[in-house]
Structure 1
């Protein structure tokens, strides 16, 4: 089966995302441009994933539970999990590895928790826009402990592994990479995304994915078989 996806998007919980990134507004945008599978990947937290899964399901959109982690090397990694419950348990551990520093929303951005009616119900107080005290190998081992997938985010942009390290290390192993520019030089599964932080960055599907089922297991099979095909003719989001 073929699905149209965007597997790296942020909600109002990410401090660098707009406060308009709430579930019903985002679902309407995705539905309107033909996206039927979305990865929710806030910075260092899965606090909004459950609400978004519930809301998106009403629009016929499947949510892939995820998170974008910043390693001690300041490399961004996308991790995806079999269920929201597993993602939330993983998120608790990630939170324990963040510095014990309170976020300054006026300076660094609001970290908003939201309900299914798009109402703000609280704020994450601990700063999310920093590195955890785990290196890439430690993050990989933790992701695998929770049966997750480990994917390097926007390798060719700020906080991407190529920008930070200058190369993609063989260890730890990785399942795929996300590349925003040319993909000719990579011999692995590659996907593109909007990395949307604002509503106007939700404008088209970013990949077509061939998977037996529209769930984590289907996504994993598509990654393993390289059946993720970037859609090139779209407007690029700014990061």
Structure 2
């Protein structure tokens, strides 16, 4: 079956996102745009995933638990998990690896934790925009241990991508799926043999505001609309 997706969306927990990126606003915007599935991928944290999943169940949008990790190399990796439990296990791992540097909301933005009613139930005190004390290899290993998938984020961008910061994609990491932002830039990477053309390429929004959530244009063929089927397909 064909499903329309956006696997890279930030909530108001990410300091660079708008404060109105609440669970209900995000999920209902995805519904308005006729998406079938989204993933919540805040910077270095899964703490708004549960609320979004609960809203998704009510609205009829499949929500995949995820996180956008910033590694020690300052590379962004979208990590998707099969269920909330494994996402929280990764959360414990990320909490141990996140530097103890306080957020300054007036400079970086708020880091708001919401419940499924869009009520603010807390804030993340530590700045989520820092790199975890974990290498790319270590993040891949941890996510593999949890039977999730790691997708190098926006590989065609000039900052925070595996290409811009390493100059290549390590073959030993067994990368099968990558995310891109611009088709033209992706084609140049393929033409210059920096990126193999046999990978699966995803076009996500990396939305930090409601208007940027993807329209109904990017789709994936899967056996069924389920988290397991989607992750198995991406692997």
- Whole-Å separation in 1 of the counterparts to 2:84 and 2:225: 15
For the 8 Å contact 1:78–1:153, the answer to whether it is kept is yes
Gaps of 5+ in 1: 225-239
Distance in 1 of aligned mates of 2:217 and 2:108? 28
- Cα gap change, 1:206 to 1:13, in 2 (>3 Å): farther
Structure 2 alignment gaps of length 5 or more: 191-196
The aligned counterpart of 2:104 is: 104
* Superposed CA offset, 1:30-52 (max 9, x none): 11111110011000000000000
Question: How many residue pairs align between the two structures?
Answer: 224
In the other structure, the counterpart of 1:165 is 166
Which residue of structure 2 aligns with residue 197 of structure 1? Answer: 208
1:106-150 deviations in Å (ceiling 9; x for gaps): 111111000111111110111110100111111111111111101
Aligned pairs for 1:48-197 within 5 A: 48-157=48-157, 158-182=159-183, 183-184=186-187, 185=190, 186-197=197-208
Q: Does 1:15 align with 2:15?
A: yes
What TM-score do you get using the length of structure 1 for normalisation? Answer: 0.90
User: What do residues 131-185 of structure 1 show as CA deviations (whole Å, max 9, x unaligned)?
Assistant: 0011111111111111110110001112111111222221322231001112441
How far apart, in 1, do the equivalents of 2:132 and 2:11 lie? 20
How far apart in 2 are the matches of 1:80 and 1:40? 9
Whole-angstrom CA distance in 1 between matches of 2:25 and 2:148: 28
What is the alpha-carbon root mean square deviation over aligned residues? Answer: 1.3
8 Å CA contact retained: 1:35, 1:61: yes
Distance 1:206 1:153 in 2: 19
Task: Name which of structure 1's ranges 189-198 and 172-181 shifts more when overlaid on structure 2.
Answer: 172-181
In the TM superposition, structure 1's runs of 4+ consecutive aligned residues that sit over 3 Å from their partners are none
- Aligned-partner Cα distance in 2 for 1:215–1:76: 25
What TM-score does the superposition give when structure 2 sets the normalisation length? Answer: 0.91
| Contact 1:41–1:66 (8 Å) recurs in 2 | yes
| CA contact 1:6–1:206 (8 Å) conserved in 2 | no
Q: Counterparts of 1:116 and 1:18 in 2: how far apart (Å)?
A: 17
> Residues 67-117 of structure 1, C-alpha deviation per residue, up to 9 Å, x if partnerless?
100010000001111101110111111111011111111111111000111
Q: Partner of 1:210 in structure 2?
A: 221
Preserved CA contact (<8 Å) 1:136 1:172: no
**CA–CA distance in 2 between the matches of 1:205 and 1:178?**
17
The alpha-carbon deviation at position 200 of structure 1 amounts to 1.3
Deviations 1:181-237 (A, max 9, x none): 12441320110111100011125035211111222221123224xxxxxxxxxxxxx
